[in-house]
Amino acid sequence: MGRMRGLPQKLGQMLSFSLGHEEQAVDQYATLQQGAEPLALEVVRPVMEAAWGCPLEDVLSDIDPAAYAASLGQVHRTTLRDGRAVAIKVQYPGIRDTVMADLKMLGWLGTPFGNLRQGFDLTAYRETILHDLERELDYECEAKQQRAFAAWAAYDQFLIVPSVIDHLSTANVLVTEWQEGDHWNDVCANWNDTQKRSLANVMLQFFLGGIFQHGRMQADWHPGNFRFCTHGNKARLLLYDFGCVFEPSEVEQLGLARLIQATIDRSESPWPLFLTLGFDREFLEPLAGKLPALCRVLFEPFCCEYPYDVTDWNLAERVSDILGDDRWNFRIAGPARLVFLLRAFHGLAWYLRGLGTPIFWQKAFTSCVGGLSGDMADLQILPENASKCDFHSMARHLKIRVIEDGRTKVELTQYASTIEHLDELLDEEVKRRINEQKIDLKQIVSDVRRQGYLPTSVFRLTEGTRQIDVWLE
């Protein structure tokens, strides 16, 4: 993929942090984040000279022949004749034709699914990817986005965006000021816990602010596009690449904010909100009853009234258990353009797992969407009979009661989501007795997910005059 550049490398970069719990596969694809071999300077020199209409030496006092290679172009560190240090991003010769040829091959993706192609809107995905790549191949478009992010950085000081050198930037050459920061590996190895916690909050603020406040989100979160800086123990995010940007519509902004808020409050059915976001009714309807449980898992970090640790999320396994055989329906039902939102969401989770520090998602979300509450309430939702698809049927609490000689000795109440860590709530002696009675806790938890976290008896353990009851209510 790295040698082929273009679309294959870009797909590999996406896979490098979106494979859920498949850590070995993630490590293999991670080499594509920065491991591509750049072209020799003499190969890309004609591109720059054609863009500027003069020899390189008329513009540059020096240029580093070594380059950082990306999927569609490579970056050289250089110095202008006036002494300014700049980064020159130059497009690979012929890369546009290569990418367009690769896109024509995407038709084979539907073939293994047989009749599924009749419902799966592969054309929409092709058009979405094509539109995104056409923008990435137009550095004038990228420069425009970079200026917009620079305006955001002037508003939120946790962002750093290099300035565009306008008179040297063209459709296939982009020149910006040179700024340096720590690589992701340096952050993981050398930053202290306070700095990592600050960066975790910055990454969440960047994600939420981009969607709900600024209407533009960097959708390509692989580490080659980010650098990281500190001022004392405060972290800042340095952005390098603006080719892939997701710009949510007002309906998408308000619909997603309302869906998350509804999940937090259990205040309305998610079913019509998914339809408002563009999900296909035909494919979504068979699993409408599973949407409340799905949302409580997808948006679990927002629902917690305490700092959330994403290493406890176990998202892939839980979603798989909830959806079961309906997982393809859910994937097909989603609108193609939201693939870039999901891509950024995967990226956020990937970075937060690497930082390994819990942060308060709900507080950040509430602060971010506070000014949208009126517009969220006024959003026109498709009228639906959604009584079967709301959150009221779901359990709110996990209960544990210990009775000895007919008297209650202990009774604990936890959030229902705590069932995901049931084995951690039980002491070793209780777990030993559970094993002796052939009670499979892992299977029990999996069954609870499949049932949509409904109120139910989890298990009862009886030994002599002692009884332990665990249930959801």
Quick count: other Cβ atoms within 10 Å of Cβ 425? 14
Q: How many CB atoms lie within 10 A of CB 185?
A: 11
In 3D space, the residue among 276, 288, 353 whose CA is nearest the CA of residue 322 turns out to be: 288
In a structure prediction context, what are the per-residue pLDDT tens digits for the chain, which is 473 residues long? 455 555 555 555 555 545 444 444 555 555 555 556 789 999 999 999 999 999 999 999 999 999 988 778 999 999 999 999 999 999 999 888 887 777 666 554 544 444 444 555 667 877 887 888 889 999 999 999 999 999 999 999 999 999 999 999 999 999 999 999 999 999 999 999 999 999 999 999 999 999 999 999 999 998 889 999 999 899 999 999 999 999 999 999 999 999 999 999 998 999 999 999 999 998 999 999 999 999 999 999 999 999 999 999 999 999 999 999 998 889 889 998 998 999 899 999 999 999 999 999 999 999 999 999 999 999 988 766 655 688 988 999 999 999 999 899 989 999 999 999 988 888 888 888 888 888 899 999 999 999 999 999 999 998 889 899 999 99
**Who's near 3: CB < 8 A, 6+ residues apart?**
36, 37
Determine the pLDDT at residue 115.
46
pTM of the model: 0.88
Residue 114 has what pLDDT?
45
In terms of Cβ atoms closer than 10 Å to its own Cβ (0-12, 13-18, 19+), residue 383 is: exposed
Cα separation, 83 vs 62, in Å, equals 10
- The 3-class secondary structure across the chain, one letter per residue, is CCCCCHHHHHHHHHHCCCCCCCHHHHHHHHHHHCCCCCCCHHHHHHHHHHHHCCCHHHCEEEECCCCEECCCEEEEEEEECCCCEEEEEEECCCHHHHHHHHHHHHHHHHHHHHHHHHCCCHHHHHHHHHHHHHHHCCHHHHHHHHHHHHHHHHHCCCEECCCECHHHCCCCEEEEECCCCECHHHHHHHCCHHHHHHHHHHHHHHHHHHHHCCCCEECCCCHHHEEEEEECCEEEEEECCCCCEECCCHHHHHHHHHHHHHHHHCCCCCHHHHHHCCCCHHHHHHHHHHHHHHHHHHCHHHHCCCCECHHHCCHHHHHHHHHHHHHHHHHHHCCHHHHHHHHHHHHHHHHHHHHCCCECHHHHHHHHHHHHHHHHHHCCCCCCCCHHHCCCCCCCEEEEEEEECCEEEEEEEEEHHHHHHHHHHCCHHHHHHHHHCCCCHHHHHHHHHHCCCCCEEEEEEEECCEEEEEEEC
Question: Hey, how many other C-beta atoms are within 10 angstroms of the C-beta on 287?
Answer: 20
Please report the pLDDT score of residue 2 as a whole number: 53
pLDDT of residue 28: 57
